Amino acid sequence: MESIILLIIVIIFSFVQSIIGIGLLLFGTPTLLVLGYTFIETLNILLLPSIAISFLQVISFKNKKNDKIIFYQNNFFIICIPSLILGLLIMSNSYEFINFNYIVSMLLLLSAISRLSIKFSNIIFGQLNNSVSKIVFFIIGIIHGITNLGGSFLSLYVSAI
């Protein structure tokens, strides 16, 4: 029965993510935490389907006229995946020593402020050149690996470009 509930949760939030770009990790993480799963278990359940959906969204988006989108497509997985793995390693090796609730709370607050204020979002993401964007991809990957919140920052970045 537990497997069926997990499958339903993953399917519902995957559907949401496929429509609006975020959802599986944003809604699935708190749902599984409320259901009693640990943060590590939650990551193990949700991260791979989320990566698969994001990958399919990136490769299915065809816009050959926008250089920033082409840059985004070409560099997203090359930069974000290794830094995401690094973030996961950091989180899994320091989970017992660091209270990630504070880090997650601060990043949620920053994400909410960025979503509510276009001016604030543009300050953070709006005027980035390609070399700085690679650093942003790397940071987003680490944030995603450590806190499971990289998707919201990635969607803010994509909205800005």
Rounded distance, CA 140 to CA 58, Å? 16
Residue-wise pLDDT for 127-137, tens only, equals 666 667 778 78
Residue-wise pLDDT for 39-77, tens only, equals 778 878 888 888 788 777 767 766 556 666 677 767 777
> Where are any strands of DSSP class E within the chain?
none
Overall pTM > 0.75: no
For residue 81, count CB atoms less than 10 angstroms from its CB and return exposed for 0-12, middle for 13-18, buried for 19 or more. middle
Query: Alpha helices of 21-66 — where are they, by DSSP H?
Result: 24-34, 39-60
